[in-house]
Amino acid sequence: MEDSINIEEFDNLNEENDVEEVPLTAAEVIELMEEAWRNEKFSPEILPNKMEVVDCLLGQISYMEENLRNLKSTDFQKSIHQLEVDRLRFLVNSYLRQRLQKIEAYVFIILKQEEQRLERSEDLYLTESELEFAKSYKESIEQHFDEILSFWPGLPSDEWKNDPVTPNINSFVFLKSKNEIEGVVIDDGPEEEEDLVDFRIGSQLIISYNSVSNLVKSGEVQLI
């Protein structure tokens, strides 16, 4: 198995202008993929895509499968390594499937937010293929409702678009802090007084997602 994989800047490194290559071991790539999978699974909203991690892991999977083909079928190690390959493929498939499920559930608000990011010249959360799927899915939904509402001409045709389904960003999540973070504002709603909490490395707590969404996206905390 390869000792390391070269991958372009991750997370905070992406903010710098000079692109550097960071050597990552196969274990570190898997750890990043598992963290991305957990964050996507437990966050109520869709997160910035981690396709650079997915591509790295897929490359590692291909390398492992090539090595497996060179092993004899009677080799006990082959079945063990095959289980790990299957686990990693499940990890990638599950991560991508969770993102597609969120796109289907919140397609209108997701596309609106992507347009706003584009106007602000910010990085988009969706990949090109996800964005294409979202637009196609949105068109299908609109066509379906237009056909249904055509049987009741007295009903407002666009009223259903004014109240799209949105993720509940005030829901509670369980997290683990990766860094020392001071003065995190606990957002309990507009009518509640704001409290502050400090995170210690390794500390775990339950908190509203809205209070830590930026920390999740920046990688300072991870959902568990």
Q: What predicted TM-score, i.e. pTM, was given to this entire model? A: 0.85
Q: What is the pLDDT of residue 22?
A: 62
Q: What is the pLDDT of residue 8?
A: 43
Query: What percent helix, strand, coil does the chain show, rounded to 5?
Result: 55, 15, 30
What is the reported pLDDT for 195?
A: 85
Looking at residue 3, its pLDDT comes to 45
For the stretch 9-52, pLDDT in tens is 334 434 444 445 667 899 999 999 999 999 999 999 999 999 99
pLDDT tens track for 143-160:
988 888 778 777 676 777
With b for 16 or more beta-carbon neighbours within 10 A and e for fewer, the 35-52 pattern comes to: bbbbbbebbbbbbbbbbe
The residue to which tokens 């000792």 are assigned: 3
Residue ranges for the chain with pLDDT beneath 70: 1-22, 155, 157, 188-193
**Distance (Å, whole) CA 114 – CA 210:** 19
Predicted confidence at residue 161, as pLDDT, reads: 77
Residue 77 makes CB contacts below 8 A (sequence gap 6+) with 71
Q: Which helix (H) or strand (E) holds 28?
A: helix 26-42
